[in-house]
Structure 1
Amino acid sequence: MDLRCTMGLSTTLFVMALLLSGAASMKSQAYFNKTGDLPCYFTNPQNISLDELVVFWQDQDKLVLYELLKGKENPQSVDANYKDRTSLDQDNWTLRLHNIEIKDKGLYQCFIYHRKSLQGMIIHQNDIDLSVLANFSQPEIMLISNRTENSFINVTCSSVQGYPKPKKMNFLLKTMNSTSEYDAVMKIIQDNITGLYNVSISSSLPVFPETNVSIFCVLQPEPTQTELFSQPYNIDAKPPQPPLPVPDNVLLTALPVLLFGVCGMVVFFITLKKRKKKPGPSHECEVIRVEEEESEQAKERVENRVPERSDEAQCILNISKTDSDLGAVMQSKEISSGIREEKHECGTQEPF
């Protein structure tokens, strides 16, 4: 067999092996506005000179990022989107893409041609799947409204400039004895220029005046990123309300009124006590009536006890009795007249 045929077959088998080995897609990750790596994984086992190689990278739209021709950069082949954004590390055949943007994510391909082998046949190819991340800012809690009558407060939490969309955002409410989770619907806004996301949630959370409460906002991004916690929003328990102090002007106003009321009560009780001791006109009228009745009863007793006498004595007695009776009648009329006047005065006088 011709030696040249043998060498050509060996070269073909070697190239096919390289293509099969590089067919698998490699994953790479970069952060927004940083530098990402697009490795080619070419080992150059035959130590082929760079003068015989053509090396280039292209994106999923077939736009060239970088080309190395005869060991030198060839900027004429590079697309305008990638000019001055790349550099090659020839020690490990890795292309570095600088100032990563969200739109840079996607599939890239590395190709290596051997110019003098089988009419410039590809001797190496591999795919790189580039993903782009952007760290969200630390979540920040803001108070929308103060505590309501039902012991609820309205709060909002926001985090900005992140990528990709976070999985979840929620509130944690911690007390001394418990931790409660409160989910909320995320509001997501994407920046049209940068492609970054701003997210926020709002919720009404229960708080109690007698309990210390710490509220946290938690953002759960992609699994490759760690959870982000806000600073705690602390609500202290309200201390017991002390009695309200009485203003000095109120005391000065109330003191004269109080003294006047006390003095009035003292005067009232003293007057009432004196009135109880002083007899009124009705009492005097009652005494006169009692004395008049006793006088008549005494008179009747005297008449009943007079002994029988002789006619002459009886005549003298009758005469004297007549005179006496006449005087008594006159006296009785005077007394009666006085009593009637007194009674008239008692009747017309207003009661005490």
Structure 2
Amino acid sequence: MASTLVQCGAWKLTLELGGTEILGIMEDTVATATEPKVEAFFNGTVDLPCNFKNPEEISLEELLIFWQDANDLVLYELYQGREKREFIHPKYINRTEYNQTTWTLRLQNVRIEDQREYKCLVQHRGPKGLVLVHQFSFQLFVLAPFSQPEITRLDNMTAKIGDVLNFSCSAEQGYPQPEEMYWMVTTENSTKIPGIMDLSIDNITQLYDVRTTLSLTFNETTRINISCYLQTVGQKEPLISKILTIEIQSNEDPGNNFLELILGLVLLFIVIAIVCWTKRHRLCDKRGTTKEKAEDPGHSEEKQVLPTTGHTEQAEK
């Protein structure tokens, strides 16, 4: 935006400052200036320039210096070397600090509503009254960095071949509106998928929240990496989310496979238990028979009588 000031001949310039009419006279001058841009961060501070060099080294006691916005609201006034608060608008009270060394005005607690055109004016009090000796206009732009984009799964289902899964990506508290939001889906190759931005604005801070969604059909790939990009105004590199990795499972139900494994283990345990019980039962039966024979008194006596009987018969013969 350019501002051109052309004056031809001697003419009167009338300014209104806080309701007071100030009359000045300017001689033949021709001045052309390009309106510069000044950037500030939301909730930060910024130095508003005046670009006054004071080549004639006029004393501050003879100068009136003030800044005003596009609505002619006064931010700050320095009258004959002293701050004058009478005409300062309430929205700028206690938010400014003048630096005489650099001829700049520091604006604190920058808001989105502060983004507008400003100008610094310098008047000299001479024999003919207040004369405008300098005017400098500039545009203030306010920036608020968005948060890092964050990907969220919109479902909890396990990804299988042929499934369609849904994702959302969001970033918060930024200004101005972002230029672009898109997805990068990476398998063996990377594919850029444009996103449709859904914007909402905070009525108090006037900052934006942005969101986009993605529906993705999974083919035979076993792994997919998904990331979300947000391109903001004035930034060369986009903001990038953390990578979300999706593992694709086969169409076989993992729950059924797990159930079959459990049933197989249970069946194996039952078979082993039966085999062990059978062997133990047979061993117990065998031990029981042997013990019964060992404890049978008739059987014992029979074994002892037989040799005795034979010996007696031989003796009798």
State TM-score, norm by structure 1.
0.63
Match of 1:82 among 55, 78, 92: 92
Could you tell me how far apart the structure 1 residues matched to 2:218 and 2:128 are? 78
- 4+ runs of 1 displaced by more than 6 Å? 12-15, 239-243, 252-256
SS in structure 2 opposite 1:55? strand
Q: Does structure 1 residue 56 correspond to structure 2 residue 37?
A: no
Structure 2 equivalent of residue 250 of structure 1: 267
For residues 1-352 of structure 1, the aligned pairs below 5 Å read 17=29, 20-21=31-32, 23-116=33-126, 118-145=128-155, 146=157, 147=159, 150-175=162-187, 177-208=188-219, 210-224=221-235, 226-238=237-249, 244-245=260-261, 246-251=263-268
SS in structure 2 opposite 1:203? strand
Could you tell me how far apart the structure 1 residues matched to 2:192 and 2:116 are? 36
Is contact 1:53–1:112 with CA below 8 Å preserved after alignment?
A: yes
Distance of aligned partners of 1:196 and 1:117 in 2 relative to their CA distance in 1, 3 Å threshold: farther
Q: CA deviation at 1:96?
A: 1.1
Is contact 1:209–1:238 with CA below 8 Å preserved after alignment?
A: no
Q: CA deviation at 1:117?
A: 5.3
SS in structure 1 opposite 2:177? coil
Output the amino acid matched with 1:250.
L
1:12-33: per-residue Cα shift (whole Å, max 9, x none)? 999654x715x43221011101
Could you tell me how far apart the structure 1 residues matched to 2:74 and 2:25 are? 28
Could you tell me how far apart the structure 2 residues matched to 1:89 and 1:16 are? 31
State TM-score, norm by structure 2.
0.70
Structure 1 unaligned spans of 5+: 1-7, 257-352
Could you tell me how far apart the structure 2 residues matched to 1:118 and 1:180 are? 72
Is contact 2:160–2:248 with CA below 8 Å preserved after alignment?
A: no
Distance of aligned partners of 1:76 and 1:148 in 2 relative to their CA distance in 1, 3 Å threshold: farther
Distance of aligned partners of 1:213 and 1:248 in 2 relative to their CA distance in 1, 3 Å threshold: closer
Is contact 1:169–1:219 with CA below 8 Å preserved after alignment?
A: yes
Distance of aligned partners of 1:48 and 1:236 in 2 relative to their CA distance in 1, 3 Å threshold: same
Distance of aligned partners of 1:225 and 1:110 in 2 relative to their CA distance in 1, 3 Å threshold: farther
SS in structure 2 opposite 1:223? coil
Could you tell me how far apart the structure 2 residues matched to 1:120 and 1:181 are? 62
Q: CA deviation at 1:49?
A: 0.2
Is contact 2:45–2:110 with CA below 8 Å preserved after alignment?
A: yes
SS in structure 2 opposite 1:205? strand
SS in structure 1 opposite 2:122? strand
Greater fraction of residues in strand:
2
Greater fraction of residues in helix:
1
Distance of aligned partners of 1:105 and 1:250 in 2 relative to their CA distance in 1, 3 Å threshold: same
Is contact 2:25–2:131 with CA below 8 Å preserved after alignment?
A: no
Is contact 2:161–2:218 with CA below 8 Å preserved after alignment?
A: no
Could you tell me how far apart the structure 2 residues matched to 1:163 and 1:185 are? 18
Q: CA deviation at 1:208?
A: 4.2
SS in structure 2 opposite 1:33? coil
Could you tell me how far apart the structure 2 residues matched to 1:15 and 1:166 are? 47
Distance of aligned partners of 1:178 and 1:16 in 2 relative to their CA distance in 1, 3 Å threshold: farther
